[in-house]
Amino acid sequence: MKKHLNEQEVLERVAGQRDAASDEHVRACPECRNEITRLNDALGGFRTTAREWAETVRREVAVRPPVRHRGFGWQGLRLAGVLAVLLVCLGVLLIRHEGPRAVEMSSTADDAVLERVDAAMSRSVPSAMEPLSQLVPTQRKELALKEKVEGAN
């Protein structure tokens, strides 16, 4: 009998590529047959469990409250908080260097961060709709562009 299948030959069989020579060897060789069966069983178990897992998660996602995965989220808010603190610190440094004019600049930057945070907090679109709602700004842009072009004509 031909020597055992090498790794590539085993993997080819597992990937579904078979040829007559390896078929014959596998029929006659329990060792190679076991190796291929073991891998096929593990991969078959993986397929079964991956499908079951995805279905379980899909059902869970369908009943739990929506998560705002595309917005800032809590981590994002934390980041915004850190940014705000950094901006305040920067502002304090600037006040020392430049006096009252810098206070205005720093408060404007803080306002900008706070506005973004407010916007993230007040998002009212359910998460399932978010991908759809994101079309709207694009369409507004398209409209604005159209109006511009028409205005120019």
Partner 1 sequence: MGGGLVMDGPEGRFSIGRRLTTCPTGLHLRSVATEDFEALVAAYRPKVFRFAMASLRDADAAQTVTQDCFLKAFQAWGRFRRECSLDTWLMTIAVNLVRDSVRNRRLQFWKRTSQEAEPAEIVERTLAGCGPTPEAQIILNEQVKAVWAAAAVLPERQRTVFLLRFVEEMELLEIAAATGMKEGTVKAHLFQALRTVRQRVGAIR
Judged by the rule CB under 8 A, the positions of this chain that interact with partner 1 are 7-8, 10-12, 14-15, 38-39, 41-43, 45-58, 60-67, 69-70, 73, 75-76, 78-79, 126-132, 135-136, 139, 142-143
Window contacting Zn ion (CB under 5 A); options: 25-33, 55-63, 86-94, 106-114:
25-33
**Cβ 22 to Zn ion, closest distance in Å?**
9
**Cβ 131 to partner 1, closest distance in Å?**
5
Q: At what angle do helices 7-14 and 20-28 cross, to 10 degrees?
A: 100
| C-alpha–C-alpha distance, residues 142 and 139, integer Å | 5
In terms of Cα–Cα distance, which of 30, 127, 3, 25 is closest to 73? 127
Give the count of residues interacting with Zn ion (CB under 5 A).
Answer: 4
Q: Tell me if 36 contacts Zn ion by CB under 5 A.
A: no
Considering only 9, 32, 106, 117, the residue that binds Zn ion (CB under 5 A) is 32
What is the radius of gyration, based on Cα positions, of the chain?
A: 31
Which CB atom, from 48 or from 107, has the smaller least distance to partner 1? 48
Q: With 0-12 CB in 10 A as exposed, 13-18 as middle and 19+ as buried, what is 51?
A: exposed
Task: Read off the tokens for 148.
Answer: 């511009």
Considering only 29, 36, 87, 117, the residue that binds Zn ion (CB under 5 A) is 29
Task: Read off the tokens for 137.
Answer: 């700004």
Cβ contact 29:22 at 8 Å: no
Query: Which of Zn ion, partner 1, none lies near 88, with the C-beta cut-off 5 to 8 A by kind?
Result: none
| C-alpha–C-alpha distance, residues 81 and 76, integer Å | 8
Query: Which of partner 1, Zn ion, none lies near 15, with the C-beta cut-off 5 to 8 A by kind?
Result: partner 1
- Chain residues in the site for Zn ion (CB under 5 A): 4, 29, 31-32
